[in-house]
Amino acid sequence: MERCIHATKDNPDPKYDFDTKFYKMPSYMRRGAINEAIGKVSSYKSNLDNWNKNPVGKRPSCPKAGYIFPAMYRTMMYEKIDDYTAKVKVYIRNTWDWITIDLKKSDIDYIERYCKNRKKCAPTLQKRGKEWLLDFPFEERVKLTNKLIGDRTIVAVDLGINTAATISVMRSDGTILGRHFLKLSKEIDHLTHSINRIKKAQQRGGRKMPRLWAKVKGINSDISSKTAAFIIEVAQRYQADVIVFEHLEKKGKVHGSKKQKLKLWRSQEVQSIVSNKAHRLGMRISHICAWNTSRLAYDGSGIVSRGKNGGFNTYELCKFKNGKIYNCDLSASYNIGAKYFIREILKSLNESLRLHIQAKVPECSKRSTCTFSTLINLNAEIISLAI
C-alpha cells in the first residue's frame, strides 16, 4: 500500500498522489495510518462475509475515516531534551516541524517513582477538550496465579443496579470466608436527580442537553470506579486467586419500566476496570453463565419469589419455596461461585469419573441450573469416592 501512495527513488511514480496532499508526513505516522485503514477494511470484509452467511439485521456499512490519536515514536516524532523538557514533531505553520514542550514536574516525578521498573512505550498525543496532552504508556509482565482448584480462593461478584456489588469469598469445598456489600446510596441519589433534571428539560422541549448528559456520565463513571476499587480491595484482603463475574449480555432492545436504569448500568465498564487491576496483581478473571443465578435459591429449594410476588417492597429480598427469607443478591453470589467451582472441578476429572459423578449428582450436568447446594453434593460425592 505504501508503494501505491509514496514516491521514493525506486518508486518515482506512485499510483496515488498522497505526498502532495500530505507534504513531508513522517513515515511512522503514514504507516500507522495505513495499518489503521487496513484494520477497518479487514473488519468490514469479515462483517460483510458473516452477514452474507446469516443476513440478520442491517447490511454492514462501508468503513469511514475516524479520529485516531498518533503515537509519537522516538527519534522520529518525540525526543527528550532533559528531565522536564521534550521535543515533538507536529504539523504547524503549514509544515512538519519540531516544537519544544515543557513536561509537568509532578507527572515526571510520579513516573520516575512508580514506573521505573516498567518498560516505557512510545507516548501518544491525545486531545482532551481544548488541550493537547502526551500520554505515556508502560508495559510490564505479570505471572498470573495458577493454583490447583482445591487450593483456590475466589471472589464471586454479583453486580446490581440498586446494590452496586454483592461479594462472597469462597473456597472449593463451599466454605464462605466473607460476605461484603457495597451500596452507593449517595451516588445513586445524585444520578437519579440528574436524570430527573434531563426529563424535566425534555418535557420543556429540550433535545440534546450536552451539559446535563455530561454530568450523568461523570456520576456513572464515579460509580464504576468506586465499585471496581471495592471489589479489588476485598480480593486483596483475602488474597484471592480468581475474581468471578457473570457473563452479562446487554445487546438488543430493553423493555420495561427499568429500561433507562439498565441502559445506564455500566456493568461492562466495572468488569473491564477490575480485569486491568486484577491482572496487575496476578489475579485471574473468570466469567460464568448468568442464567438462573438470581432466580434459583442457593439451597436448591427451587425458584425464589421476589418483589410483590414475595410480599416485599424491594427486589433485594426474596422468599424461598421452603419459606426462608434471604438476600437475593447474596444468594446469587453463592450460585456464581458454585458454578465456577463445578465447572473447574469437572474439567479436572477424567471422562469415566466425570460420567460417574454426573450419574450420582445429575444436577451438575446442566450448568445453567447449578446452585450452591449442587457444589456441596458434588464435593460430598468426590469425598465418598476417595474413601
Per-position pLDDT tens, the chain of length 387: 899 999 999 998 999 988 888 888 888 889 888 998 999 999 999 999 999 999 988 899 998 877 888 889 888 899 999 989 999 999 888 889 999 999 999 999 999 998 988 999 999 999 888 898 999 999 999 999 999 999 999 999 999 988 999 999 999 999 999 999 999 999 999 999 999 999 999 998 888 899 999 999 999 999 999 999 999 999 999 999 999 999 987 777 777 767 778 878 899 999 999 999 999 999 999 999 999 999 999 999 999 999 888 889 888 899 999 999 999 999 999 999 999 999 999 999 999 999 999 999 999 989 899 999 999 999 999 999 887
pLDDT at 82: 92
pLDDT at 67: 80
d(CA 33, CA 97): 19
Name the β-bridge partners of 376.
none
Q: Locate cell 446490581: which residue?
A: 160
pLDDT at 257: 67
Under 8 Å between Cβ of 338 and 371: yes
Contacts of 378 (CB under 8 A, 6+ apart): 342, 345, 357, 361, 364
At residue 73, what is the residue type? Y
- Which pTM does this prediction carry? 0.81
Under 8 Å between Cβ of 164 and 183: yes
pLDDT at 222: 96
Name the β-bridge partners of 247.
289
